[in-house]
Chain A
Amino acid sequence: MYKPYETSFRAQRMSIKEKLMNISFWFVCCICLLAAIGVVMLYSAANGSWSPWAYKQLLRFCVGLGLMFVVALIDIKLLMRYAYVFYIFTLFLLVVVDVSGHIGMGAQRWINFGFFKLQPSELMKIALIMALAKYFHGVPLQSIESIKGMIPPLLMVLVPAGLIIVQPDLGTGLMLIMTSTAIFFCIGVQLWKFGIIGLSAIIMAPIAWHFLHDYQKNRVLTFLNPERDPLGAGYHIIQSKIALGSGGVFGKGFLKGTQSHLNFLPEKHTDFIYTMLSEEFGMIGAVTIILINLVIIAYGFSFAFKSSNYFGKVLAIGLTTNYFLYVFINTAMVLGLIPVVGIPLPLISYGGTVMLSIMTSFGILLSVHINRNVSLGKE
């Protein structure tokens, strides 16, 4: 019996058309919906104007969408084959950024290609997940459960995380570690190991505190008590809570957010855009965003579950976790649940790098889904 889009019994490669037909329509719909909301909010953030943010964001999203489709069409075998190469290359870029930043006597997080600023730390989020997926694809469970077997993947995580933290970009570094921890958890590292690591982290915390930069210490202290410095570091979070709270259930209306439009709300087009949305559209708007993201995350997991190869499963879980962390950290931050770290809300916040890296990861997720029936050997 011939099933037109079923690929499981087919030895040959899928045609482009077949691949496109296998792209999850509702997943892409959710992404477009969020991006559209983002453009609308950026229009509002500029007091009802397409410039300077809304039209640029729309343009970037279109580029990102194209990129996503292109990545989605990449054969998963290629992704696995070049996972380490990609990882090593990205690691090299990170070193380059760190060294040039060191020479230039200041924080530097990107490589300037003239027309485009590449942020290797952003690229590393994807490269690391791919490399880890490839590594765990190839090893047996015994190796995962042994201490010796976990040394290579731990190094794969800690080296780039360390390089990113010294940039200094604590937020991204921690995100990298959190994503990897989630992957370790999923592949079956014993829970007691997490317990030991967690315990030693608590013991190490005071020492780590010593190495934090002053502004990072301030952020933590301010998070613990925003009123500590209401006009300085605490100002952001206090104003964010006022904006959110005053939005109420139904919000103040599109373009009518007083906190945002009278500039009490800082960074309203980037990190705090969720606050602005919650002020103008109330709890209804805010919960809608959470729900759409929940759908996207659910799709991510379903892609993982449906994939027949281990590499694809770990890859999908890793990328979905990465996306979840963006959403959770950003919303929890503007709601005053965690310290202010510079993590944007993906697809909605203004910014090119995150947009492109997130769209790339969505492309890979789609590729995992398209190639769900491809079986991969242990190279």
Chain B
Amino acid sequence: MNRDNDKGKVLLQRSLIMACGMALLLLGIVFRLYYLQVFQADQFKMLADENRISTRLIIPQRGIIYDRNGEILATNEQNFQVMIVAEQTANVQDTLDALKKIMPLSPDEEKRVKRDLKRNRSFVPVKIMDNLTWEEVAKVQLNIEDLPGIYIEEGLNRYYPYGEKMAQVLGYVAAVSDSDEKDDPLLEVPGFKIGKSGIEKFLEKRLRGKSGILKMEVNAYGRVMKEIERNEGQAGENITLTLDARLQEKAYDAFGEQSGAAILLDVHSGEILAFVSTPAFDPNAFARGLTHKEWNALQSNEKTPLVNKAIQGHYSPGSVFKPLVALAGLESKAIKPDTKIFCGGKMALGNHLFHCWKHWGHGSLNVVEALMHSCDIFFYETAMRVGIDKIANMARRFGLGKKINIGLENELSGLVPDREWKLKTKGEPWQQGETLIVGIGQGSLLVTPLQLATMTARLVNGAFEVVPTFFPVSDKRLLKIKKIKVSDSYLDLVKQGMFEVVNYQHGTAWRSRFDYNGMKMAGKTGSVQVRRITLQERQQGIVKQEDLPWKYRDHAIFIGYAPADNPKYAVAVLVEHGGGGSTAAAPIASQILKNALILDPVVYRTH
């Protein structure tokens, strides 16, 4: 009995100790609660918010691009897409089958949709097709009851109403690639597109706008539960260009199937009214994404639709360079306005023979007549008398040999050779023969069509140093344009020569003349050999241009302006392998200038 008492006593003691132990352990729980819920509460509140709040960027609407008359050149078009949400349909296959009954869906596309559905959680919408027409949208909407899980989403696509006619100016937008500079979190948004070339690239930041922010509460699986905060951001800036869509369209069409470039300038401001490079590409196709086949076709086209020939093409100017040689000659007094030079069809320098394009010769000519007939011998002789350095100096004053920085990518600077250049790059002294060749715009001399347009504008606007631009020039800036140092009387002679080229019966562009209410065109033709004519060929008789393979034909060039008596518009036209400047380039220039006059706001009002 005594031991039984002890047994009870031990039990009481020990269980009291254990009860205390339990109380202490529970106290430990309370301390732990205090540590987590009071001491570390802020940290965990932050982590909980990180868990539940998902921030998404709202893509701002891209700026619209207008031409000088308010015509839309680039805009954002509604893009209707058919989307499917897997969890909203009992059976995805049934829904797709039902959709296939009203819309064509290729097996490949169906496979892609199913793959996308498998990859995403069941509440994530997956795109089935996009770029729906209104009829297709209506068709889907009409049957929406039979298409569980399917809905139509409206997105925005960049759209270029003028398509390829504006492609080389505007460029295009496309998905961000790895090589693009990631200066904005927007660029990380899937599906976001940025300007990849042209004005779209040049003014990317202004056109893009500022992204908005959407804060949403999401659950552990990423499903959006509700919207917490929304900041719409700021739409991109709308841009007005100096282009005239009507002129651009007509200029582009004037080339037909031919490959080339044309630039139409306002000679006083340098504003570009038309800027064409043919053939071009469809920027809308780029914006939606090219197929492999389309891309290959563009790449392998020998007419290089991806090259902007107006600024990315290096060409010898040929005879259109002659006005500058004439100016250099007159300014250096190597020739006088009435100096006559005899052309017998060829001239010798050392043991080299230099030929005129007219192999039986032009006879005696002064500078105006030489320009009109585009006599090579006259300019060989003049160039020889002036020397290369003075010619180069004159060329640079009129904008050759230097980048214009028009804002489009990969612009070439051209090349105006002189003694120093030759010594520096080739390590050889300049040869006099080279001076002769440069005198007729060939040899190492290289220009872009845009430089030729600039040169023409400066020749005819009273020698003001205008710079071509796509953006409206204010009156204030207009007054700041500097004058080039060159005598007006010499410029008048050159203009007279260019007038006669078009308006005298023996002028090289006589067939392209026009008279619109007394307003006429003036200009200069040029044909540039892309291969050397061998002596053997010359003896056999020169092969006609039409009989040569396309890529061996001469480039045709024409620079022109109108009205001849009071110049307002200047144009430069290049037709790659077009044959002669008078036959291929001048008619296009003539059309462009005539249209410019017809559509000129001042002329339009008075007539």
List the interface of chain A (C-beta within 8 A of B).
140-142, 144, 182, 185-188, 239, 241-249, 258-259, 261-264, 278, 282-283, 286-287, 290, 293-294, 297-298, 301, 304-305, 310, 313-314, 317, 321, 324, 327-328, 331-332, 335, 337
Contacts and interface: CB of A to CB of B under 8 A. Distances in A.
A166 to B, nearest CB: 29
Given A242-B47, A246-B45, A305-B12, A278 B29 contact: no
B30 interface: yes
A217 B445 CA distance: 81
Given A246-B48, A264-B51, A293-B26, A185 B18 contact: yes
B506 interface: no
A263 B222 CA distance: 10
Interface stretch (B3-11, B92-100, B454-462, B580-588): B3-11
A142 B4 CA distance: 10
Contact of A247 (B11, B29, B37): B37
Interface string B14-33: 11001100110110111011
Interface string B509-536: 0000000000000000000000000000
B8 A310 contact: yes
B41 A249 contact: yes
A293 B43 CA distance: 29
Contact of B220 (A263, A301, A324): A263
Nearest to A182: B18
A375 B143 CA distance: 83
B44 to A, nearest CB: 3
A262 B44 contact: no
B157 to A, nearest CB: 35
B3 A262 contact: no
Best-buried of B34, B48, B218, B220 by chain A (most CB within 10 Å): B48
A88 B192 CA distance: 72
A361 to B, nearest CB: 16
Describe A's contact surface by its main secondary structure: helix
A169 B40 CA distance: 34
Contact of B29 (A243, A290, A297, A314): A290
A286 B37 contact: yes
Contacts of B18: 182, 185-186, 317, 321
Taking residues whose C-beta sits less than 8 angstroms from the other chain, chain B's interface range is 35 or more
Contact of B15 (A242, A317, A331): A317
B51 A259 contact: yes
Contact of A140 (B4, B19, B45): B4
Nearest to A250: B37
Contacts of A298: 19
Given A141-B6, A141-B7, A142-B3, A241 B29 contact: no
Contacts of B38: 248-249, 283
Contacts of A335: 29, 32-33, 36
A154 to B, nearest CB: 18
B37 A332 contact: no
A275 to B, nearest CB: 10
B419 interface: no
B217 interface: yes
19 contacts: A142-B3, A144-B7, A188-B10, A188-B14, A241-B44, A244-B33, A245-B37, A247-B41, A258-B48, A258-B51, A262-B52, A262-B217, A263-B219, A264-B52, A264-B219, A290-B29, A294-B26, A313-B15, A317-B15
A355 B28 CA distance: 26
Nearest to A328: B25
Contacts of A287: 30, 33
Best-buried of B12, B30, B36, B221 by chain A (most CB within 10 Å): B36
Contacts of B33: 244, 278, 283, 286-287, 290, 335
A294 B41 contact: no
B225 interface: yes
A245 B40 contact: yes
Nearest to A243: B48
A258 B228 CA distance: 14
B44 A242 contact: yes
Contacts of A239: 51
Contact of B37 (A141, A249, A313, A337): A249
Contact of B11 (A243, A249, A314): A314
A258 B47 CA distance: 11
A241 B45 CA distance: 10
